[in-house]
Structure 1
Amino acid sequence: MGPSSSFDLDVETLYTRHHSWLKRWLHKRLGEAADADDLAQDTFVRILRARRPVNDLHRPLAYLATIANSLLVNRWRRLAVERAYAEVLAAQPEQYEISAEARHLLIETLTQLDELLHALSPRVREIFLLSQLDGLTYKQIAAQLSLSVDQVQRAMLKALDRCYASQFE
């Protein structure tokens, strides 16, 4: 194995100095040591993947907490999607059961969709859902929300642009 890069050494230093603190911080929020360990590791994996310089962080604990908190929010959203899916599945006749693999893929897709929708502003998300789920026309949405059709079109353009961009992330 070749020599480590400066970035790798900086992350190693960050890890050595603050990993224990991060695990304690996460444990307080999760109440479960194993989950805290997993999310602490995921935090450093995210740092490694982002490849942003970490050598001159003025507030390394705040940086780690921000990343870890984002992972916590994603985890809680995923759990909410899984619970909602389990409730819907429980209400269905047994003939609608799907394989564990298909269930995993469905939950993964629903989680990604949930993240995409939460990345939109509340107004754009509302307009997008009225169009795509309720099947309302732009004119109907404009009337319902007291907006112009042009405002609805611009909002839909933002939403569709975000959907398109998510395909390449």
Structure 2
Amino acid sequence: MPSSALETLYREQQPWLRSWLQRRVGCPAQAADLAQDTFFKLLLKPREFPSSNDARAFLTTVAKGLYIDQWRRKQVEQAWLEAQAQHSLVDDVSALQQATILDALVLLDKALSQLPEDVSEAFIRSQLQGYSYAELAREMKLCERTIKRYVAKALAHCTLLIEP
């Protein structure tokens, strides 16, 4: 997409997208940020649109995805803050370490959300909560071999998403 076409698309669609987002998120600043991020994604991966409706459909899909990612990040951040408070971790972790941990948790959450629920549950409970495969097999009413396969699948999936 030539820069002039992108500029025209931005000029024509950005006010509409910002307004559309504001009705959904209720915050003008957040709507403006999401609209900018949506067009930034388009700038990184340009494409042509046969019509204004096609452009709007694409922009709303991208904006919804960005909003969901933002919402999930806030959920993960809130859980991290609660865990810090419960375990008195605030004094032991620098701001940079907290940001790095939060980024890793968001990435892990995104990776696990792409897996079937049983697979992500087995992974979380074995790797983060310390359950043995035998304990999980009993509680989830599955054989231990299936639990091992689930955890291996989750590890492989997370590794593929993290590796450049």
Under a length normalisation based on structure 2, what TM-score does the superposition of the two structures give? 0.80
Quick check: 88-97 or 72-81, which moved more?
A: 88-97
Distance, in Å, in 2 between the alignment partners of 1:12 and 1:156 is 47
What is the aligned counterpart of 1:102 among 97, 101, 114? 97
- Structural mapping, 1:53-132, within 5 Å: 53-56=47-50, 59-91=54-86, 93=88, 96-132=91-127
- Could you say which residue in structure 1 is the equivalent of 2:40? 45
- The Cα of 1:40 is off from its aligned counterpart by 0.5
CA change 1:135–1:27 in 2 (3 A) is same
> Moved runs in structure 1, 4+ residues, more than 6 A?
none
Question: What secondary structure is seen at the aligned counterpart in 2 of 1:45?
Answer: helix
- Could you say which residue in structure 2 is the equivalent of 1:3? none
Distance, in Å, in 2 between the alignment partners of 1:118 and 1:71 is 15
- The Cα of 1:9 is off from its aligned counterpart by 4.3
Distance, in Å, in 1 between the alignment partners of 2:146 and 2:72 is 30
Distance, in Å, in 1 between the alignment partners of 2:31 and 2:150 is 39
- Percent identity among equivalent residues? 34
> What value does the CA root-mean-square deviation take over the aligned residues?
2.6
CA change 1:130–1:45 in 2 (3 A) is same
Which residues of structure 2 form unaligned runs of 5+?
A: none
Deviations 1:91-132 (A, max 9, x none): 455872533323222222222222222222211111112221
Structure number having the greater helix percentage? 2
Question: What secondary structure is seen at the aligned counterpart in 2 of 1:54?
Answer: coil
- Structural mapping, 1:150-165, within 5 Å: 150-165=145-160
Count how many residue pairs are aligned between Structure 1 and Structure 2: 163
